[in-house]
A and B are shown apart, each in its own frame.
Chain A
Amino acid sequence: MTDDPDESVIDVTGLTKRFGNKTVVDHATLKVKRGEIVGFLGPNGSGKTTTIRMICGLLTPDEGSGTVLGFDVLTESLEIKNEVGYMTQKFSFYEDLSIAENLTFVARLYRLSPVSRYVDETLERLGLSSRRNQLAGTLSGGWKQRLALAACIMHQPKLLLLDEPTAGVDPKARREFWDEIHELAGEGLTVLVSTHYMDEAERCHRINYISYGKMIAEGTVTDVVRDSGLVTYLVHGPRLERVATELAGLPGVEQVAPFGNSLHVVGSDPKLLKRALAPLAKRPELSVEPGETSLEDVFIKFMADSTDNMAENGANNEIDA
């Protein structure tokens, strides 16, 4: 591959996956450029894991085409596997192997040499040198995640596919993880990372939002918030829970959510929303002022919008096993 910064590392169009008669990913299109960190968001069961698996050749798409690192997703999955680091959502290293044994296994499969140097360096970086002989199955949840991440970047892949890498990881480790991801991206590594955390989405260069198999939003966080067309007002004052009940159900009010001492009132029609809030603004004990729409507000709206289409499809989206 050349070092052209504009080249696409992931460039897939129309990816579709069906399980039985259920379309889990529906003509998804995704483009990721070299060195980018792209967040992949969406509700549970929306098809994030399935999309990632198709990109790294673990699932065969029913429709669609494209390239990953310049290799054809449909026919060159072996070449793709050699240069991709994939971290699964569920810990999938060997619980009956020690930490060092797991890393050794991975290092040998990628034919890294000398194996012991790679393993030792990785252990060192993880701070697990002293626990190298501990069985991986006995690690705490967060440490398992950190081991899995370390294992999948050991062979210096060109593309990292991370499926909820920080679920259950403490804030400090999360911060370190993101620092490291940015550092690696600076060196040219490309990252596609799925997450449910808003703060993580905000640390990505771009985000893609998938809802029940369909990509419905794409861009920087600012773009996505702006494109949503949502307007937010903050209500301050006492007895906000009562105010919340009053507001709920009024035309134009789509979301009412308490945040500490204030109430976030969100709607997509500014006129209707203003009309709904007008009576409150007149009360002396309350103050109403325009606020900033957060990414979370946008996602809640996306999810609310998609409930309808869920109902249409009947039992289409049961809880993910």
Chain B
Amino acid sequence: MFDFARFSPTRLGAMLAKEFIQMRRDRLTFGMILGIPLVQLVLFGYAINNDPKHLPAVLVSTSADPYSRAIVSALEMTNYYRFDHVASSAAEAEQLLASGDVAFAVTIPSDFGTRVERGDNPTILIEADATDPAAASGAISTLGTVASEALKRERGTDSLRAANQPGALNVVVHRRYNPEGISQYNVVPGLLGVILQLTMVMMTSMALTREAERGTMENLLAMPASPMEIMLGKVLPYLAIGAVQVVVVLGAAKTLFGVPFLGSFSLLLTGILIFVFALVLLGYFISTLARTQMQAMQLTFFFFLPSIMLSGFMFPFRGMPGWARAIGEFLPLTHFNRVIRAIMLKGADYAAISFEMWILIAFVTAYAGLALLRFRTTLD
């Protein structure tokens, strides 16, 4: 009775062939599969602006002079920066920035104090992760004035004189990964995840309810297909559909919005594949819960709305309150967003995103397990 994992390639083949034929005959759904990504891409192709605070930052500083400290505390006073990392080398900061652990790296050179005293032009370097330009813009725009004010106060000179002094503070800002702060760079890769989330989950969530409503479930269950075969037979065809959508969205990302592709393409495809697999299994899990197609639809949206709101797609993840981020961590889309932005915009390698990849794999396993547990081989 518990051999739900019983498996025969022939039976899986039977399921797959049947699903592909049905998919091909369902013209409307087929049109939707291609239409939805295009429409959404155009609709959402705009930036959603925001002004998040308390962004994690790393301080690269080797000197502990009072001027450096004044600038750091003034930056923290703006509420934009939260220095929760201290690095001793530029390479270390670079690493933190690339992995997405921090949004900013503030470098105060070791000769900063001496330069201020000498009346030279002291320089500080601020590197911002601009993949999400909205998140970085507020912090960057206040930065110059705040830092100079702090420096002036520390030197005890009045602001008028200081401003005209040759030793005025020189702030160098590097917008990393997306130097022009183009919103589409951030939105379009995120949009791929959103489109996949909507269409993949919605279509697979009908997988079993459709059979139940048409009355074909009784026949299917009376024949010797195991729960595993039925599950794979139902979700694998949608992996292929997902592939088509990926091509559409990535193609549009390149041609319409000129989004850069920095990282490894095969790594990107691997990430997408795992994500789509998690989504179709989530949809299938929903279809084991829902009794009607209407319920399946509602459950799909129950997952979809938090996914676009709390995954960092619509609002910068770091700008959200703690509870919202906690929910976000339980959404595959959140992790997929991190993976795809890191690969496409930052050129991240496997080491930088392996953790997020494994979380996505955990989602695949969890959804598959839940679906098999919920699947009933009887009609009660």
Footprint of B on A, CB under 8 Å? 53, 56-60, 75-78, 81-82, 84, 86, 88, 90-97, 101, 104-106, 108-111
A residues near B221, Cβ cutoff 8 Å = 58
User: Do A82 and B224 have beta carbons less than 8 Å apart?
Assistant: yes
User: Do B222 and A96 have beta carbons less than 8 Å apart?
Assistant: no
B224 in complex: contacting residue of A60, A75, A81, A90, CB < 8 Å: A81
Q: Return A65 CB to nearest CB of chain B, in Å.
A: 15
Question: Roughly how many angstroms separate A98 CA and B373 CA in the complex, as a whole number?
Answer: 33
Known: A59-B378, A90-B218. 10 other contacts (CB 8 A): A60-B380, A86-B219, A88-B219, A92-B218, A95-B214, A96-B21, A105-B18, A108-B14, A110-B224, A111-B8
- Interface residue ranges of B3-21 to A (CB < 8 Å): 3, 6, 8, 10-11, 13-15, 17-18, 21
Question: Roughly how many angstroms separate A111 CA and B14 CA in the complex, as a whole number?
Answer: 9
Summarize B's interface: helix, strand, loop or mixed: helix
Known: A75-B1, A76-B1, A78-B224. A111 touches B11 (CB 8 A): yes
Q: Return A106 CB to nearest CB of chain B, in Å.
A: 7
Contact flags (1/0) for B344-355 with A, using CB distance below 8 Å?
A: 000000000000
Q: Which of B3, B13, B15, B214 has most chain A Cβ within 10 Å?
A: B214
Contact flags (1/0) for B215-242 with A, using CB distance below 8 Å?
A: 1111101111110000000000000000
A residues near B380, Cβ cutoff 8 Å = 59-60
User: Do B11 and A108 have beta carbons less than 8 Å apart?
Assistant: yes
User: Do A77 and B1 have beta carbons less than 8 Å apart?
Assistant: yes
B residues near A93, Cβ cutoff 8 Å = 216, 219
Q: Return A72 CB to nearest CB of chain B, in Å.
A: 9
User: Do A94 and B379 have beta carbons less than 8 Å apart?
Assistant: no
CB pairs A–B below 8 angstroms (12 shown): A56-B222, A58-B222, A60-B380, A77-B1, A78-B1, A84-B222, A86-B222, A88-B215, A96-B21, A101-B21, A108-B14, A111-B11
User: Do A60 and B378 have beta carbons less than 8 Å apart?
Assistant: yes
User: Do A108 and B222 have beta carbons less than 8 Å apart?
Assistant: no
A109 in complex: contacting residue of B14, B26, B378, CB < 8 Å: B14
Known: A58-B222, A111-B11. A92 touches B215 (CB 8 A): yes
User: Do A111 and B10 have beta carbons less than 8 Å apart?
Assistant: yes
Question: Roughly how many angstroms separate A105 CA and B216 CA in the complex, as a whole number?
Answer: 13
Q: Is B377 an interface residue (CB 8 A)?
A: yes
- Interface residue ranges of B172-221 to A (CB < 8 Å): 214-219, 221
Q: Is B22 an interface residue (CB 8 A)?
A: yes
Nearest neighbor of A111 in chain B, beta-carbon distance: B10
A residues near B224, Cβ cutoff 8 Å = 78, 81-82, 109-110
Question: Roughly how many angstroms separate A94 CA and B222 CA in the complex, as a whole number?
Answer: 14
Q: Return B309 CB to nearest CB of chain A, in Å.
A: 37
- Interface residue ranges of B24-48 to A (CB < 8 Å): 25-26
Footprint of A on B, CB under 8 Å? 1, 3, 6, 8, 10-11, 13-15, 17-18, 21-22, 25-26, 214-219, 221-226, 377-380
In the complex, the number of residue pairs spanning A and B with C-beta atoms less than 8 Å apart equals: 83
A residues near B377, Cβ cutoff 8 Å = 57, 77-78
Nearest neighbor of B217 in chain A, beta-carbon distance: A92
B residues near A90, Cβ cutoff 8 Å = 215, 218
Question: Roughly how many angstroms separate A110 CA and B229 CA in the complex, as a whole number?
Answer: 13
User: Do A109 and B11 have beta carbons less than 8 Å apart?
Assistant: yes
Q: Return B20 CB to nearest CB of chain A, in Å.
A: 11
User: Do A94 and B18 have beta carbons less than 8 Å apart?
Assistant: yes
Nearest neighbor of A163 in chain B, beta-carbon distance: B218
Question: Roughly how many angstroms separate A201 CA and B189 CA in the complex, as a whole number?
Answer: 67
Question: Roughly how many angstroms separate A108 CA and B15 CA in the complex, as a whole number?
Answer: 9
Question: Roughly how many angstroms separate A77 CA and B227 CA in the complex, as a whole number?
Answer: 13
Q: Return B265 CB to nearest CB of chain A, in Å.
A: 36
B residues near A57, Cβ cutoff 8 Å = 377-378
User: Do A110 and B223 have beta carbons less than 8 Å apart?
Assistant: yes
A94 in complex: contacting residue of B1, B11, B22, B226, CB < 8 Å: B22
Question: Roughly how many angstroms separate A84 CA and B14 CA in the complex, as a whole number?
Answer: 19
User: Do B14 and A105 have beta carbons less than 8 Å apart?
Assistant: yes
Q: Return B26 CB to nearest CB of chain A, in Å.
A: 7
Q: Return B223 CB to nearest CB of chain A, in Å.
A: 5
User: Do A81 and B11 have beta carbons less than 8 Å apart?
Assistant: no
B21 in complex: contacting residue of A75, A88, A97, A108, CB < 8 Å: A97
Question: Roughly how many angstroms separate A230 CA and B82 CA in the complex, as a whole number?
Answer: 95
Q: Return B360 CB to nearest CB of chain A, in Å.
A: 32
User: Do B378 and A58 have beta carbons less than 8 Å apart?
Assistant: yes
Q: Return A239 CB to nearest CB of chain B, in Å.
A: 49
User: Do A101 and B378 have beta carbons less than 8 Å apart?
Assistant: no
Question: Roughly how many angstroms separate A84 CA and B222 CA in the complex, as a whole number?
Answer: 8
Question: Roughly how many angstroms separate A97 CA and B15 CA in the complex, as a whole number?
Answer: 13
